[in-house]
């Protein structure tokens, strides 16, 4: 008989999650004890919210969302990133993911989460839309260029959806044990760099300065001037002309920004209204 329980983030639970991910994704070394502890337990915006499916002592399926802060419709609210999901091969095709997701969103709403957002590939997007009521807002942009992505950052209005980072949340994000992120100040803004699939092409993001002096800066090592931007820039914000789109034939499966309101306050987002970067999900 399948039973359901909220996810945990103690050492014993983390070890069970690592074992499940290894069974579901053989050869993928991302899901280490250190990584899941960092992701599930250490986040200053809140511990993981999610549910597990159990068949006796066997962990059959697992789904989590990661709390964060964001400006949604001009209001600072708590949101959650739809992230890790895994169903043991023995239990696939039984509808466990949909059940876990709905239980997770109910729990998230009870904890004051305003909306769920995520990044879905071409295979998973239809399920999120049809079964879970998500909106496909727009595909992420993948571009290569030099310099800043936005012509200006400070003082420009946020779009309908944009993550809001504190020094603590940025320090946590940069400390990803699987892929460290480097931060520096440049021309009145913060720049972030992370290793990507090519050593000469770091993933790049930029933010306005954050309040407080607690941000830990770690300038990136010497690198190529080229940068990889994967994300979204609101259409109302002036963009740099130094970035060009990567041709579709050179890109992996398209990534889509998806959104589901839990409060009903901002039920839908308009395409061209989202600010988003690699810092805001788990690409790098």
State pLDDT tens for residues 54-98.
999 999 999 999 999 999 999 999 999 999 999 999 999 999 999
Q: Are 60 and 54 in contact (CB under 8 A)?
A: yes
Where are the chain's structural domains? 2-137, 139-252
Say which CATH topology domain 2-137 has. Answer: Aminopeptidase (3.40.630)
- What confidence category does residue 219 fall into, taking pLDDT thresholds of 50, 70 and 90? confident
Q: What is the pLDDT of residues 99-131, one digit of tens each?
A: 999 999 999 999 999 999 999 999 999 999 999
Rounded to 5 degrees, φ, ψ at 4 are: -125, 145
Region label for 176, one of left (φ > 0), alpha (ψ between -120 and 50) or beta (otherwise): beta
- Of residues 171 and 235, which shows the higher confidence score? 171
Tell which residue, 117, 63, 48, has the closest CA to residue 262: 117
């Amino acid at each position: 008989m399948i039973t359901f329980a909220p996810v945990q983030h103690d050492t014993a639970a983390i070890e069970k999650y690592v074992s499940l991910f290894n069974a579901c994704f053989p050869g993928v070394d991302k899901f280490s004890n250190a990584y899941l502890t960092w992701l599930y337990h250490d986040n200053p915006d809140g511990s993981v919210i999610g549910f597990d499916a159990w068949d006796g002592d066997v962990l059959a399926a697992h789904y989590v969302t990661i709390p964060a802060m964001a400006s949604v419709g001009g209001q600072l609210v708590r949101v959650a990133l739809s992230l890790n999901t895994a169903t043991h091969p023995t239990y696939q095709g039984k509808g466990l993911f949909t059940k876990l997701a709905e239980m997770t969103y109910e729990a998230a709403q009870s904890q004051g989460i305003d909306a769920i957002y995520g990044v879905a590939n071409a295979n998973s997007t239809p399920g999120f839309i049809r079964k879970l009521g998500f909106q496909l807002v727009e595909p992420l942009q993948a571009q290569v260029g030099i310099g800043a992505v936005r012509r200006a950052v400070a003082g420009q209005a946020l779009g309908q959806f944009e993550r809001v980072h504190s020094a603590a949340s940025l320090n946590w994000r940069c400390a990803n044990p699987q892929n460290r992120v480097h931060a520096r100040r440049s021309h009145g803004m913060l720049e972030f760099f992370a290793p990507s699939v090519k050593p000469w092409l770091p993933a790049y993001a930029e933010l306005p300065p954050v309040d407080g002096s607690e941000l830990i800066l770690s300038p990136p090592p010497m690198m190529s001037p080229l940068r990889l931007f994967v994300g979204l820039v609101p259409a109302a914000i002036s963009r740099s002309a130094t970035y060009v789109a990567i041709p579709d034939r050179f890109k992996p499966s398209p990534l889509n920004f998806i959104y589901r309101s839990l409060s009903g306050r901002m039920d839908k987002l308009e395409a061209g209204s989202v600010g988003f970067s690699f810092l805001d999900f788990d690409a790098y």
